[in-house]
Structure 1
Amino acid sequence: MFLTREQYLRVPPNWCAGKGACWEMMVDMWLSEEWIQRHNLCRERRLLMQGAPHHQGSRGLPEYRDAWSGSHENQECNDFQTYCMAHKGRATSDVSYNPADPPEAYSNPSVHTRITEYTEMGKALHGEHMGSGHPAPF
C-alpha cells in the first residue's frame, strides 16, 4: 500500500512542484511509524462504518455548498445545512435539509446522532429560534 521513500520522491504532485524540501518532509512523515499506526487505526475505523462518511468528494464544505446552490436554482444554505446535505447525497442530487429527517436519510446513520445532539445543544444554549450569526436554524 505504501511506496518507498525513493518512489514517493520521484513523483511529487503538481501542487508541490518546486517545493522539494516540503515534499520530502511530507514523505518522511507518511513513512514514520507513528503516522503509519495512526493511518491503520483510522482505516480500521472507516471500514467499520455502516455507510459512506460523506458525499463531498475532495470538496470542502464551501465548495459543496456552492455546487449544491448552483445545481438547485442558486438557493442559499448555511454551513450547518451544507454539512447535513453533504452526508445525504451529492451536491448535484436531489438532497435538501429537513430537520425531521430520520437516521436512514443519511448515508451514515451516526451522522443523525451528531446532528441531533448539536441542534439540542444549540436550542438549550440559545433558545428555540437562534438569531443571525449562529450556524444552525433552530
Structure 2
Amino acid sequence: MARVKDMYYEAHVQVLVTYYADVKLERLPPADAKKMLHYPETDVAKDIYMQFPAEWCKTYMDCWEAIVDAWRTPESYEERRSRSERAKMRQGPAHHQGSRSLGQYCDAWSRYHDGQVINLYEGYALSNKGKASDPNNVFSSADGPEAYTNPNSL
C-alpha cells in the first residue's frame, strides 16, 4: 500500500514540476513544489492538474479528476502541513535501509548474516531495528513490537 501512496504523492509533485518546466519555462525543484502543496494559495489550479495527468492515469481522466479533487480539499492541505511539521520534529532516520528498496535491504542483510534468508515482513521489521550490517540485528518475535518500532518513523 505504501507504493500506491508514493505514486500519488510523486504524481502530485510532478504536476507542479512539469507545469513550471513546460508552461512557465522555469525550473521548480521538487522540494519547492512540495512546499507549494501545503496551501491552496501556492498550489496550482485544478485545470492545470487536468492538463498534466500522471502517465499511469492518462486513460482514466475521470479517476484523475477524483484524485485531483481529493488533493485540493481543505483537509488535504491541513494533512500535508501536519505531516510536514511532524517530519521536521523527527530526530534521525525513520529506517535503516538507506536508499535501498526493501528487497535490496533483505538481500544486504542476508549477505551480512551468512546467507540467511528473510522474508519482506522480517526485512521491514529489521530495517526499523537496525542496519543490515549489524550482526546483532536479528529477528525474534520474543523481542516485542517496541524493538521494531523506530520512534522517528511515527
* TM-score between the two structures when normalised by the length of structure 1: 0.54
Q: 1:68 aligns with which of 105, 123, 127?
A: 105
The whole-number CA distance in structure 1 between the counterparts of 2:129 and 2:80 is 23
The whole-number CA distance in structure 2 between the counterparts of 1:34 and 1:57 is 31
Counterpart check, 1:16 vs 2:16: no
Bigger helix share? 2
Counterpart check, 1:53 vs 2:94: yes
Q: Percent identity?
A: 24
Match of 2:28 in 1: none
The whole-number CA distance in structure 2 between the counterparts of 1:56 and 1:17 is 33
Contact 2:46 2:68 in 1 (8 A): yes
Unaligned runs of 5+ residues in structure 1 are 100-112, 119-138
Kindly provide the amino acid, as one letter, of the partner of residue 105 in structure 2.
W
Match of 2:71 in 1: 30
The whole-number CA distance in structure 2 between the counterparts of 1:81 and 1:75 is 12
Match of 2:147 in 1: 116
Match of 2:3 in 1: none
Cα distance change of structure 1 residues 50 and 33 upon mapping to structure 2, 3 Å threshold: same
Bigger relative contact order, structure 1 or 2 (CA pairs below 8 A, ≥6 apart):
1
- C-alpha RMSD of matched pairs (Å): 3.3
Match of 1:94 in 2: 133
3-state SS of the aligned residue for 2:95?
coil
Query: Residue deviations 1:89-121, cap 9 Å, x none?
Result: 5xxx6356247xxxxxxxxxxxxx963387xxx
Count residues with an aligned counterpart.
Answer: 98
Contact 1:55 1:87 in 2 (8 A): yes
Q: CA deviation at 1:81?
A: 4.3
The whole-number CA distance in structure 1 between the counterparts of 2:59 and 2:47 is 17
Q: CA deviation at 1:56?
A: 5.6
* TM-score between the two structures when normalised by the length of structure 2: 0.49
Unaligned runs of 5+ residues in structure 2 are 1-35, 37-42, 150-154
Match of 2:46 in 1: 5
